Structure 1
């Protein structure tokens, strides 16, 4: 409907109805337009003033009595108006971008509950970066989301070419599994004795993913360049203090 289209273009309902009436009548007095458009004469003069300022209508005097009549200008004026708005907007976009970059972007935090939420966050780490950092609580991961899920995750990570540097606690190991293995794109180290991890953390790009134990049963992702950089620096400090696991290729037979 034409009325709705004009409202979408920035006219209010009464302005749109008034403007369409002027177009239909061709040339009319304010009273005639007000009656046909269904608006009061007082409102009609206010609407006329607003439309005239936008260049959509004009007034002229006709006949020997110089009667004031209202006529619509070429509707192309609507197109010209929007093009002008576009040019004005384009002129300030660089300033808006500068303000946006100056103030930065607020961190995005997402909270997930239960086993399904934990799996969502776990598999989501495969899309963060081609290289992940991880601090894993093995015993807790083998409980939730469970060994079957973890075996599948490990396979998917290698298949998709995502490398992993990971630190684990000896105290949280339940099996001699997933050591350093170039074929699996994994380099693993054990944290210093006494450093026991009760949660799992993955870090990729600007996102930190946290997975709790079964007791608290939740997962969390934090998308923040500053927080990710903090965790990355802390990981590297711990990495330097940790001991390598044994590459299965180099194990004695």
Structure 2
């Protein structure tokens, strides 16, 4: 219920009134105020907003105003309307993104620092703003799974595939994970992933991902930080370095 109501940005007290009406059935304002343990004046203000949103309906019964929650079919229509609004907003954002990139060409490199698991997960999610592209990652994979969690990677890679983002990854030999334990790391065409193992004498604990004009670095859980550098020159240099190691690495099959 809370997850559903969060879609409509309800305040806690508004959600309480809605739930009291949902579980208590049709009732008047006085009865609802008692059920939700708030004043009658407050309940009228809240009901007015819930009606405006479309979650609650109002009827007259023997000259008394009665309130009830809207049926699931109506709520579903409201959610679909929100989906359309989000879809429209995304299209607008795509246009804004093009303007942003045009206006910021030739600007000085930009640096952002991220600390802690949540911030690092968000830094990785930013990759999903792109689509129909290829990302090159130099990745101590076991350490990254430990740092960002398996559940995060499972959701991340599902969305990545949906956005047609291909991965070319280099892992250290000592960091090779069990594919049985982490099915989301399988090397299959449908998962849009190529993986190679670096030469045995090449080991690393700092990972990085290259795409667009950005390079994103992530440390191990020991240091628990990352940073993003937005620089076309750096991205091209790191990509060249990646390709050299890629060409002397062995494919994972």
TM-score w.r.t. length of structure 1: 0.55
1:207 to 206, 214, 223: 214
Structure 1 Cα separation of the partners of residues 145 and 170 of structure 2 = 16
CA contact (8 A) 1:134 1:201 kept: yes
The aligned residue for residue 240 of structure 1 is 247
SS in 2 for 1:189: strand
3-state SS of the aligned residue for 2:228?
Answer: strand
Q: Distance in 2 between matches of 1:224 and 1:128?
A: 17
Deviation at 1:174, TM superposition (A): 3.2
In structure 2, the partner of 1:193 is 200
From 128, 143, 147, give the equivalent of 2:146. 143
Corresponding pairs, count: 145
Would the aligned equivalents of 1:172 and 1:197 in 2 still touch at CA under 8 Å?
A: no
After TM superposition, give the deviation of residue 148 of structure 1 in Å: 0.9
Find the partner of 2:172 among 160, 169, 172: 169
- Determine the C-alpha separation between the residues in 2 that align with 1:153 and 1:136: 15
The structure with the larger Rg is 1
Give yes or no for the alignment of 1:111 onto 2:145: no
3-state secondary structure, aligned to 1:215: coil
The yes-or-no answer on 1:223 pairing with 2:225 is no
Name the Cα RMSD after superposition.
Answer: 1.6
Contiguous gaps of at least 5 residues in structure 1: 1-99, 247-253
Using the alignment, how far apart are the partners of 1:181 and 1:137 within structure 2? 20
Q: Classify the secondary structure of the residue corresponding to 1:131.
A: strand
TM score, norm. by length of structure 2:
0.55
